Structure 1
Amino acid sequence: MTTLQEAVQRFTPLDPELMARRLGRPGPMPRVIIDTDTANEIDDQYAVAWALLSQDRLNIEGVTAAPYSFLHHRDGLYEAVAALQTGSGTDHDSKFVGPFAGWAKRLLADGRTADDIEFVTPDVGEERSYEEILRVFDACHVAHEGKVFHGSPAHLSSYDAPVDSDAAQFIIKQARKREDGPVYVLAMGALPNIGSALLMAPDIIDNLVVVWTSGFPSYAPFCNEPSLNLVQDQMSSRLLFECGVPHVYLPGYHVGAQLTISRPEMEHFVKGHGAIGDYLWHLYTNNPLHTKYAISQPETKTWVIWDIINVAWMLDAAYVPTHLTTSPHLDEALYWQKDPSRHAMLEAYDVARDAVFEDLYDRLAKNG
């Protein structure tokens, strides 16, 4: 079986000058593909809508559906619920204090158990994402014909077996249009579509820029396991950092996590602003993750709209400040290992939260 190091040998390193150009600011009307697990929660819908309402600034080539699944959480949740039910999961038992303890306690307090939680497989997640993309297009009154593509039904399982899909083929086709300039793939989920495209066509890295949000900053000493986007398809995640494709990394934790929105803001700036405003309001007030995670009094809480950071970076450098660094290694334990001799990568270190939402609100107001 081909190792990551062997797979990376298929890629020709970019000339540093070309890499610098690709990591510079996009030119006017940049070509964009949005790769999104839209039905995973509610943030991708805001990002896709903002992009579709900004087509005077972005050339949207297409939107590709990415799979998602929470199956990797299932065993931990069942174990935590069982421990609490039997009294063994105390605050002094480190085995059950962590990411699943609070969730399990809230479920039991709500009169539910782990059996009440749906854990979809990646193929179901991809299909739901595809259908959700179509709903956002319709709510924005934008024709979706020829613009929306099915993605991989599974995460990468081998560097010898990229998953062929309409999405991967579309990414390859657009990246090979070198006369049209680079294509920016705004990656808002796990990466099997992009990883597979790269493995099937290593030559495309000279005309492709991957703008991905996930994980902790590359200088942070934390395990990236909490990042859903990163942890689901770890093979594709590692390939992205190793293969030398131009990459704009937008950390979710500490950076994208600042993009919270409250119910009063939603009611004032989003609700009533066209069909898409009403749909986003519906999603916010019927958030499936509130039910899944047994969130009480959701009206008092804000929600993170993580994935609009990708669109924000495309639209204005001031929205998402970045610095040039080097691509880290992602080790087997999901920690970053920095190496100053590696190829360049652009990384966000902050986000202008208010300016980002003001732009989104402005687009919704003009639409509504």
Structure 2
Amino acid sequence: MIEFPKLTGGKLLNRLAHPAGKVRAVLDTDTFNEIDDPFAVVYALKSPESLTVEAFYAAPFHNEHSDSPGDGMEKSYWELHKIRELLPEASGIPICRGAVSYLPGPAMPAPSEAARDLVDRAMASADDDPLYVLAIGAITNVASAIMLEPRIMEKIIVVWLGGHALHWPHTREFNMCQDLHASRLVLHCGVPLVLIPCMGVASHLQTTLSELNDHIRNKGFLGQYLYETFRGCASEHTAYSRVIWDMSAIAYLVNPAWLPSSIVHSPVLSEDFRWSFDTSRHWLRYVQYVQRNDIFKDFFAKL
């Protein structure tokens, strides 16, 4: 049985406060899965006033774009390399392979280079300089790192795009339902967690091909890459918009006013992916809305 350190109420709430200045961060991403991940990677690297990206971790995923969770991770790993070639800001930032499978059981990690790197970086962090873990895919790598070294819970803050809004009739969201064991662990163990739901919250973060044509297509190779990535996601763009979910995790560190939030008790995740509630559980920060216009305006300006 893994014993997790219990952060006192005061320390946990302190960790859940929005940082006053620039922070250190790692980005855990299933980059090949959806078009929103490259947008988030670029946004993070173009926001040096708010965060320093220390490492990228490739997260596993399995859908029509991959043959297995491990194949999805490997494709994401190489997509991160592709983005790094386009961005001078990414030069020298390590890219680590994540898990090749989801957690095999509720207390069984899936060790990987990414999980070990997270442990090493977190344990080297000073108490007054915690590491932010921006997770925009299945939470497997992060959960594995916590199980490999539970003491990192005192050194990190996890910002996770996962699940749906607490009022939603279910929470069968891709990032959350891929790895039930990992999702439950991160919600239950007491690690400082900022939860950004998808439907009902980040779902407001939509854009269109015509908007990207106006604002990023002419911004060099990088703008062209993002524009073409978006254009290729649909065969017909008439009256079509698409949500760029993952940028929300970056925007949280750029300006908290763009993501109104509150402190709530950590919800309980059922096996059939529904929320239930227990007011005896620890606190987390829950994002309730995203200011879509402010986030995209900032992103376009930074390109």
Give yes or no for TM over 0.5. Answer: yes
Q: Which amino acid aligns with 2:89?
A: V
Residues 162-171 or 246-255, more deviating: 162-171
Partners of 2:119 and 2:145 within 8 A in 1: yes
Partners of 1:36 and 1:44 within 8 A in 2: yes
**How far apart in 1 are the matches of 2:180 and 2:119?**
21
Residues 168-187 of structure 1 deviation map (CA, whole Å, 9 limit, x = unaligned): 01111121123261111110
Are residues 221 and 317 of structure 1, via their aligned partners in 2, closer, same or farther at CA, if it must alter by over 3 Å?
Answer: closer
Number of the residue aligned with 1:103:
none
* Aligned match for 1:318, one of 236, 252, 257: 257
Residues 87-131 of structure 1 deviation map (CA, whole Å, 9 limit, x = unaligned): xxxxxxxxxxxxxxxxxxxxxxxxxxxxxx665211110011011
**How far apart in 2 are the matches of 1:27 and 1:177?**
21
- What 5-or-longer segments of structure 1 have no aligned partner? 1-5, 71-116, 291-295
Number of the residue aligned with 2:62:
69
Are residues 243 and 64 of structure 1, via their aligned partners in 2, closer, same or farther at CA, if it must alter by over 3 Å?
Answer: same
Q: Which amino acid aligns with 1:193?
A: N
Query: Could you tell me the percent identity over the aligned residues?
Result: 32
Partners of 1:49 and 1:137 within 8 A in 2: no
Q: Deviation at 1:221?
A: 4.9
**How far apart in 2 are the matches of 1:67 and 1:208?**
21
Partners of 1:53 and 1:140 within 8 A in 2: no
Q: Are residues 1:24 and 2:42 paired?
A: no
Q: Which amino acid aligns with 2:163?
A: G
Listed as ranges, the matches of 1:266-277 within 5 Å are 266-277=212-223
Q: Are residues 1:198 and 2:198 paired?
A: no
* Aligned match for 1:209, one of 135, 148, 157: 157
**How far apart in 2 are the matches of 1:259 and 1:24?**
23
Q: Are residues 1:339 and 2:278 paired?
A: yes
Residues 166-208 of structure 1 deviation map (CA, whole Å, 9 limit, x = unaligned): 1001111121123261111110000110010011011110111
Partners of 2:56 and 2:93 within 8 A in 1: no
Partners of 2:168 and 2:200 within 8 A in 1: no
Number of the residue aligned with 1:140:
87
Number of the residue aligned with 1:56:
49
Number of the residue aligned with 2:137:
189
Pair member with larger Rg: 1
**How far apart in 1 are the matches of 2:133 and 2:292?**
22
* Aligned match for 1:173, one of 92, 116, 120: 120
Partners of 2:31 and 2:38 within 8 A in 1: yes
How many residue pairs were aligned? 302
Number of the residue aligned with 2:104:
157
Partners of 1:47 and 1:307 within 8 A in 2: yes
Residues 221-243 of structure 1 deviation map (CA, whole Å, 9 limit, x = unaligned): 52212x11000011000001100
**How far apart in 1 are the matches of 2:66 and 2:83?**
24
Listed as ranges, the matches of 1:116-135 within 5 Å are 119-135=66-82
Q: Are residues 1:35 and 2:24 paired?
A: no
Q: Which amino acid aligns with 1:40?
A: N
Number of the residue aligned with 2:224:
278
Are residues 266 and 217 of structure 1, via their aligned partners in 2, closer, same or farther at CA, if it must alter by over 3 Å?
Answer: same
**How far apart in 2 are the matches of 1:271 and 1:324?**
39
Partners of 1:140 and 1:275 within 8 A in 2: no
Listed as ranges, the matches of 1:196-275 within 5 Å are 196-218=144-166, 220-225=167-172, 227-275=173-221
RMSD: 1.5
Number of the residue aligned with 1:360:
299
Partners of 2:168 and 2:199 within 8 A in 1: no
Q: Deviation at 1:55?
A: 1.7
Q: Deviation at 1:217?
A: 1.8
Q: Deviation at 1:145?
A: 3.4
Residues 60-79 of structure 1 deviation map (CA, whole Å, 9 limit, x = unaligned): 11111101112xxxxxxxxx
Q: Deviation at 1:143?
A: 4.1
Segments of 4+ moved more than 4 angstroms: none
**How far apart in 2 are the matches of 1:351 and 1:257?**
9
**How far apart in 2 are the matches of 1:330 and 1:203?**
24
Residues 25-68 of structure 1 deviation map (CA, whole Å, 9 limit, x = unaligned): 11322011100000001001001001111123211111111011
More helix by share: 1
TM-score (norm 2): 0.96
Q: Which amino acid aligns with 1:352?
A: Q
- What 5-or-longer segments of structure 2 have no aligned partner? none
Listed as ranges, the matches of 1:109-120 within 5 Å are 119-120=66-67
Q: Deviation at 1:146?
A: 4.6
